[in-house]
Structure 1
C-alpha cells in the first residue's frame, strides 16, 4: 500500500512539473511575441532632427543617379511620381556578364557611373553616356516570350532578371568593353519575381533586418540615408586634393542635420508626414567610394575609403566577423509605412 501511494505521489509531482514547464514556456513565448510586436511598432512621438536636402534615384545598378524633387517610397525603394504608367524605380535594372551571369559594377568598371537613364514615353527608357548615341530601350513586360535568366550576386546569391534585348546589350558592351558583346541589361519584373532572402549571418547581427527590407538589385536594403554633416566631417579628414561629394556614396536620402554621424543612432525615421523607415544596418563601404561620379575615374590612393578605414571601422566583434574591415558611412533603411516624400520635408526620429 505504501509503495503504491509513493508511486502515485511521484506521478502527481511529475505531472505538476510538466504542466508548470508547459505553462512557463507558453508565458515566455507570449512575452517574446509581445516584446517583438512592441519593438516593431511605429513610434507615436517624433522629434525633428533635420531636413531632406537631396533625393536621388539610381535606375541602373552602379550607373548614374537622377536628382528628384519628390518620390514615392515603396517596398522596393523610391520611384518617380509621374502621370504615365511607367515609373523609374531604384536599381530595377542591372548589367550582367553574358557569359557567366555575374553582375557588373563600377568597382571594376568605373565608367558605368557616367551611364544615365531617363523615361522615354509610356513604355521605354533612354540610355545615354559620353561619346555614345542615345538608345531607346523598351521596358520588358510579362510575356511567355521573355528571356529570363539568373544573375550572380554577392555571396553566391542568385537573382532573377529579364533580358532587355540585343540592342541594349550591344550599346552597353560598346561603351563598357569597346566591343559589340560581353554584357547585357537585365530588368526586375517585381510582379513575378520572388523577394530576396537576407543573409542569415547579417540577420543574426542586425536584429531589425528583415527579408522585406531588401531591394531589387541594391546591395542590401531598399533605401540608404546619409547626413550632410557626416560628409562635411569627412572632408576635413581627407587630403586637401581629394574631392568628396555625396554622390560618391550613392544615398537615396541626404539629410541636412547638425551633428556628424548622429544618424548612426537613429532607429525609427519619418520623412514628411507619412513615410516611415527603420534603421536596419550601418552601410559598409568599398572601393566604389573611390570612383569620381563626375569623371568615372578611380582615386589612385583609394580615397576617401582609406581615410574612412582609419576612423569608421565597426567595433562590435560579432559584426566585425561578418563585415570585416569595411568602414561604415550612412545607414540602410527598411520601409514600414509608404508615402510620397519631397525635398525640403522635415526628417523626424521616433522618441517613444
Structure 2
C-alpha cells in the first residue's frame, strides 16, 4: 500500500468530486461539517486545535472514553464552543470548561491545546473505499458503516477503484494541491458508534483485517495528505489525481 507515483499526468479514471469537508476542533470529539474552507499550509484551520487530558496530563481518546464522540465543538470567529446532550454549551476559554468535561465524561478531564494536532495533515477517504468495505460487511451479515466511523477531513466520490487515495501521489482540488504522505493506520476508535458514543466492535477492524493489512504493520484505510498549494475548496469541487513531483515547499 502507499502512494503509486505513475508516469505522465492524470490517472485515467472518471471525474471525482469533493463531497464532504469536516474539521475537528477538539481531538477525539465530533466533527463540524463545512461547505467550503480555506486550506493553509497546516491544513484546515482549527482542526484538532484542542485535546482532552486526564488528571495525569495524558490525552483521552474515544476507545477509552467513547462519550467524547457526543461532544460537538464548533468554531466561530476563532471562538470554540462545546455542546453535548443534556448540557448547556460552554466556551473553550471558559473557566468552567474543565468541570463541564469532567461531569459529562464522568472522569477528571481538562481541555488543553493539542500537542500535535493532526501533524498538519488532511485525512482523505473515498466513497469507493467505504462502499467496498460495506460490500464485504454485507457478505458476512454485518450492517454497513457510515463514513464518520473513519473521521476524515475530506471525502471524495466518483473514483472507480477503491483506495485510489492511497495510490495517488498528488490530488488537485480546485486551485489547491495535496501531496500524499502515508496510509492511515486504523485503531479501535473505528469501533465506536459516533452517533451513540458507545463501543460497537468488532467491525470494521475484523473485516478490514482480511484485506487491508499494511506492509509496515497495522490496518490501513484512507490516507494522509499535506497541503502543498493552499487555497479555497468547496463541496462539489472536482478532485483530480496527479502524478510526478509536487509543487510548493
TM-score (norm 2): 0.86
- Number of residues paired by the alignment? 233
- Segments of structure 2 that go 5 or more residues without pairing to the other structure are 1-6, 245-249
Greater share of strand: 2
- Pick from 165, 178, 187: which aligns with 1:263? 165
Question: Retained in 2: the 8 A contact 1:53–1:255?
Answer: yes
C-alpha deviations, 1:35-78, integer Å up to 9, x for none?
Answer: xxxxxxxx995457511011111111000011110011122221
Pick closer, same or farther for the CA change 1:226–1:123 going to 2, 3 Å: closer
Runs of 4+ in 1 over 2 A off after TM superposition: 43-49, 122-125, 239-243
- Pick from 207, 219, 239: which aligns with 1:307? 207
- Pick from 133, 137, 151: which aligns with 1:234? 133
Pick closer, same or farther for the CA change 1:123–1:258 going to 2, 3 Å: closer
What SS does structure 2 have at the residue aligned with 1:94?
strand
In structure 2, distance between residues paired with 1:124 and 1:116: 14
The match for 1:222 is: 121
In structure 2, distance between residues paired with 1:171 and 1:313: 40
Question: Retained in 2: the 8 A contact 1:49–1:349?
Answer: no
Q: 1:236 offset after TM fit, Å? A: 1.0
The match for 1:199 is: none
- Pick from 54, 59, 76: which aligns with 2:42? 76
The match for 1:173 is: 102
Counterpart check, 1:345 vs 2:237: yes
In structure 1, distance between residues paired with 2:210 and 2:95: 45
C-alpha deviations, 1:304-347, integer Å up to 9, x for none?
Answer: 111111110013xxx23xxxxx2100011111111110000000
In structure 1, distance between residues paired with 2:32 and 2:78: 19
Counterpart check, 1:249 vs 2:150: yes
RMSD: 2.1
Greater share of helix: 1
In structure 2, distance between residues paired with 1:119 and 1:245: 24
- Segments of structure 1 that go 5 or more residues without pairing to the other structure are 1-42, 80-88, 139-164, 189-195, 197-215, 321-325
- Pick from 64, 67, 70: which aligns with 1:111? 67
Mark the structure with the bigger radius of gyration: 1
Pick closer, same or farther for the CA change 1:227–1:71 going to 2, 3 Å: same
C-alpha deviations, 1:152-194, integer Å up to 9, x for none?
Answer: xxxxxxxxxxxxx54110000100116xxx1110125xxxxxx
What SS does structure 2 have at the residue aligned with 1:78?
coil
